[in-house]
Amino acid sequence: MRLKLQRSGLFITLISICLFLGSFSYIRPTPAYNSLEILNGILESTSKIKTLRYDLQRNERLKGTMTYTESRVKLQLSPRKLYISLTTGQEVLWVQGANNGNALVNPGSFPYMNLNLDPMGSLMRKGQHHTINELGMEYLADILRDGMKHSGEKLAKQFVVLGEEKYTGHTCYKISIAFPDFAWLPYTIKKGENILSVAGRLHISEYMILENNPKATWYTDVKEGQIIQVPNAYAKLILLMVDKESMLPISEKIFDDKGLFESYEYLNLQVNSAMAPEEFTKGFKGYHF
């Protein structure tokens, strides 16, 4: 009797194992992603942008503290025109070739009058990583191109598609771009250089350089022969959520050796929608200049 029960139990166990193994035939294999193909798709889509409308949620680390802002952005690339409205009341209007290159700024508070400010000046640069010149997606595209160029044979290991994920209602590619060898290296300032020109040529963050070189009080406060510390890449890690339909990033998270450095979320993104010339004038309906 015991032998029959043992045989019966063994039979049931074998059936269970077969059913368990057989169930794997119904599991869909993880789709293979071509990182280079997707990256080239991002760059191609970025190159076709003529206008953008979006709501921007920005987080930037300033002196160790994350600072959050929300704004509404209208951007035309050629000729370059932009309008920014912050939820705190400030407005910025800049048109290429107009107003002596200055931005028209409504501070939304005292002194309650419009200001004409240099986009590269301290008043407009205060409390943020970037200038209005980096607004849009061209800046990220330049960083990606440079990263791809320097990755060489390591590209497949450093640029990885982690899969697909729903994000703010969009089906997205989740992409990890890692630079594990991220480090700070000494750099000797050459004649005619400053932090801005060095950062632009090396495709690294000018704010990151300034913050990590306390002897420099501003982006132009360096001299020929001075040795500063610069990162060897824009970031240690970049995480992107790329909308499969538009092939444009709608979320960017950038990490350095200290953690999260900056993040940008693009909501209600409209690409290449018509923009009337009046939308880039101070008298346009809804503006408060």
Residue 113 has pLDDT above 50, yes or no: yes
Lowest mean pLDDT among 6-20, 37-51, 81-95, 135-149: 6-20
pLDDT at position 12 is 41
- What pTM value is reported for the model? 0.87
Residue 7 has pLDDT above 60, yes or no: no
pLDDT at position 31 is 64
250-284: buried (b, 16+ CB within 10 Å) or exposed (e) per residue?
bbbbbbbeeeebbbbbbeebebeeebeeebbbeee
pLDDT by residue (tens digit) across 216-240? Answer: 999 999 999 999 999 999 999 999 9
pLDDT by residue (tens digit) across 131-176? Answer: 999 999 999 999 999 999 999 899 999 999 999 999 999 999 999 9
Structure tokens at 242: 């790329």
pLDDT by residue (tens digit) across 240-268? Answer: 999 999 999 999 999 999 999 999 999 99
Q: CB of 43 within 8 A of CB of 248? A: no
Q: Which residues contact 193 (CB under 8 A, 6 or more apart)?
A: 222, 224
Task: Give 152's DSSP letter.
Answer: G
pLDDT by residue (tens digit) across 69-80? Answer: 999 999 999 999
Residue 121 has pLDDT above 60, yes or no: yes
Backbone angles phi, psi at 159, to 5 degrees: -105, 105
Q: Where does residue 243 rank: exposed (0-12), middle (13-18), buried (19+ CB within 10 A)?
A: buried
Mean pLDDT of 69-98: 98
pLDDT at position 103 is 98
Structure tokens at 74: 């209208």
Does domain 35-75+134-273 correspond to CATH entry 2.50.20?
A: yes
